[in-house]
Structure 1
Amino acid sequence: MNTVRLPSGEQVAALGQGTWYMGEDRAARKAEVAALQAGLDLGLTLIDTAEMYAEGGAEEVVGEALAGRRAQAFLVSKVYPHNASRAGVIAACERSLQRLRTDCIDLYLLHWRGEHPLAETVAGFEALRAAGKIRHWGVSNLDFADMKALWRVQGGTGCAANQLLYNLGRRGIEWDLQPWLREHGVPVMAYSPIEQARLPRHAGLRAFAQKHGCTPAQAALAWLLGQDGVIAIPKSANATHLRENAAARELRFTPAQRAELDALFPPPRRAMPLEML
């Protein structure tokens, strides 16, 4: 199974499950819980959520899905920037733990950089880690300059991941941020890896997939999974799509095939502002 190594040495699943937009409709709750459990059965054991998603609703869905199965999952959640003071991050984490029905989050991320100094956020994260409330901490949506600033903060080099918008159509991080992260041993967690189902409608990607015997979504995921230090977290509440996603782990693109994808989705030729959704 594809895995990615965290700075601590721990190996986590390179293909996980996202939960953005889950928890917004009570009528969909049963299907969402079932999808997350089906994903666990397929080995998609890394589950990503956030207090922002449905204002805690997604965390509640995850908590229900993990009832009796917590040990099988590597659980990721994120704190709002406005809650990311030293005291605020501790209080926010306690609320997330209650919604998730667990006593520890495996990886806790700053959702994006806000008004609170990074030093305060890191201090809060370290306090949570010392108390056993989280095992690792990291960031999300921090650009090249932000990461260099984080590295200057006391304890900032303890960052275990940076969750970023990254897919075939959003390759700006490859210019400077991704090489820096790789040099410092920090994995990229790619959110919206199939661009919220828009990439599979791309005519060129559809033709590529047909030529090489896979689906467009599998091609997009396999392109990410073929890179060192990249975790992909597609969201799906559809059993067929879950199986399709899981099968992408078996694809191995040749250099020639990757060159075909580069022609369809060119890498950046200059530094670009960090993209976010």
Structure 2
Amino acid sequence: MKTITIGDITVPAIGLGTWHMGDHAETRDAEISAIRAGVEAGARVIDTAEMYGSGNSESLVGEAIKGLDRTKLFIIDKVLPSNASLKQLPKSLDASLAKVGTDYFDLYLYHWRGGVPLSETVEALRNAQEEGKIRQWGVSNFDVSDMEELLKLPGGKGVAANEDLYNLGSRGTEFDLQPWQEKREIPFIAYTPVAQGDRFGKNLTKNKVIQAIAGNHKATPYQILLAWVIRNGNVLAIPQSGDPVHARENVEAANIELSKEELFMIDSEFPAPTSKQPLDIL
């Protein structure tokens, strides 16, 4: 199973995303079962945020992890830009910790840039780290220029990861951002790694090459898309699923090793970027 190291902790390279989960009572039991199935299949990372359903996702995660060994989980949460100040971040963090039912987050991310000076947000994150409420801190939806600015700030080099949109239909970060982070040993977290099915009109799962490769591995097209995202060893993928079977399949995709020939076939269908692209954000 492919792994990735964030700070000094090594985790499987496919975790569990929870965006759009926890909002509907009729799907809650299945979503809790999906998180548990993913963990049972080997996932350690669970990714949530205070923005997701205004806390509904955090509460769902809290219910799903009850009774599980917290030390074996790696929980990621995120603070909204409007709450990323010295005054407000501690309050948001405490509220999120309470919803998830944990004393600390393994990784706490600044969800995207807002009006609070970046230097102030970094100071607030470092304070939370010193208090032991977060093990590590990072950022999300940052491009190269944002990361360069961050690393010039006092304490900025303490950033543990950057989470951005990345999938076979959205490869822009491969041109500059991912190489930049890899050179500095800053892990890249990929959200929406299977493009939310075929939401973006790329028809990824219906592509004949993807389907053929899936057949070669006795896998699903979704599993091939995930195996592709984590192929290079510096990316953590966090696909979301409210279905226990699908969640387990997602995690098991970390066991798939794509051949050079298969990677060439994929590149031929979905070419890598040859120039700087605007950062895709959802």
TM-score of the superposed pair, with normalisation by structure 1: 0.96
The equivalences for 1:60-209 within 5 A come to 60-69=59-68, 70-198=70-198, 199-209=204-214
**In structure 2, C-alpha distance between the alignment counterparts of 1:209 and 1:68, rounded to whole Å:** 36
**Residue in 2 aligned with 1:11?**
10
**Residue in 2 aligned with 1:27?**
26
Residue type matched to 2:276 in 1?
A: A
**Residue in 2 aligned with 1:242?**
247
Whether the 8 Å contact between 1:40 and 1:72 is mirrored in structure 2 is: no
1:199-222 residue CA offsets vs partner (Å, 9 max, x unmatched): 323344224423554321111111
1:176-228 residue CA offsets vs partner (Å, 9 max, x unmatched): 11110001111111111101111323344224423554321111111122212
Whether the 8 Å contact between 1:205 and 1:264 is mirrored in structure 2 is: no
Following TM superposition, by how much is the alpha carbon of 1:73 offset from its aligned partner in structure 2, in angstroms? Answer: 1.1
Q: Where does structure 1 lack aligned partners over 5 or more consecutive residues?
A: none
**In structure 2, C-alpha distance between the alignment counterparts of 1:211 and 1:267, rounded to whole Å:** 23
Whether the 8 Å contact between 1:19 and 1:48 is mirrored in structure 2 is: yes
**Residue in 2 aligned with 1:50?**
49
- Please say if 1:270 is aligned against 2:247: no
**Residue in 2 aligned with 1:219?**
224
**Residue in 2 aligned with 1:59?**
58
**Residue in 2 aligned with 1:40?**
39
Residue type matched to 1:265 in 2?
A: F
**In structure 2, C-alpha distance between the alignment counterparts of 1:52 and 1:87, rounded to whole Å:** 18
**In structure 1, C-alpha distance between the alignment counterparts of 2:258 and 2:207, rounded to whole Å:** 19
1:89-108 residue CA offsets vs partner (Å, 9 max, x unmatched): 11110110010111101100
Task: Using the aligned pairs only, state the percent identity.
Answer: 43
**In structure 2, C-alpha distance between the alignment counterparts of 1:183 and 1:26, rounded to whole Å:** 45
Whether the 8 Å contact between 2:30 and 2:244 is mirrored in structure 1 is: no
**In structure 2, C-alpha distance between the alignment counterparts of 1:215 and 1:28, rounded to whole Å:** 24
Higher relative CO (Cα under 8 Å, sequence separation at least 6) belongs to 2
Following TM superposition, by how much is the alpha carbon of 1:39 offset from its aligned partner in structure 2, in angstroms? Answer: 0.9
Following TM superposition, by how much is the alpha carbon of 1:45 offset from its aligned partner in structure 2, in angstroms? Answer: 1.3
Which secondary structure state, in structure 1, belongs to the residue aligned with residue 163 of structure 2?
A: strand
Residue type matched to 1:74 in 2?
A: F
**In structure 1, C-alpha distance between the alignment counterparts of 2:178 and 2:249, rounded to whole Å:** 27
1:12-48 residue CA offsets vs partner (Å, 9 max, x unmatched): 2211000000111122211111111111111111000
In the TM superposition, structure 1's runs of 4+ consecutive aligned residues that sit over 6 Å from their partners are: none
**RMSD (Å), alpha carbons:** 1.3
Which secondary structure state, in structure 2, belongs to the residue aligned with residue 86 of structure 1?
A: coil
Number of residue-to-residue matches in the alignment: 276
Residue type matched to 2:161 in 1?
A: A
Which secondary structure state, in structure 1, belongs to the residue aligned with residue 17 of structure 2?
A: coil
Whether the 8 Å contact between 2:209 and 2:265 is mirrored in structure 1 is: no
- Please say if 1:259 is aligned against 2:264: yes
Residue type matched to 1:4 in 2?
A: I
Whether the 8 Å contact between 2:97 and 2:104 is mirrored in structure 1 is: yes
Following TM superposition, by how much is the alpha carbon of 1:53 offset from its aligned partner in structure 2, in angstroms? Answer: 0.3
Which secondary structure state, in structure 1, belongs to the residue aligned with residue 88 of structure 2?
A: helix
Residue type matched to 1:65 in 2?
A: A
TM-score of the superposed pair, with normalisation by structure 2: 0.94
Residue type matched to 2:179 in 1?
A: P
**In structure 1, C-alpha distance between the alignment counterparts of 2:66 and 2:16, rounded to whole Å:** 17
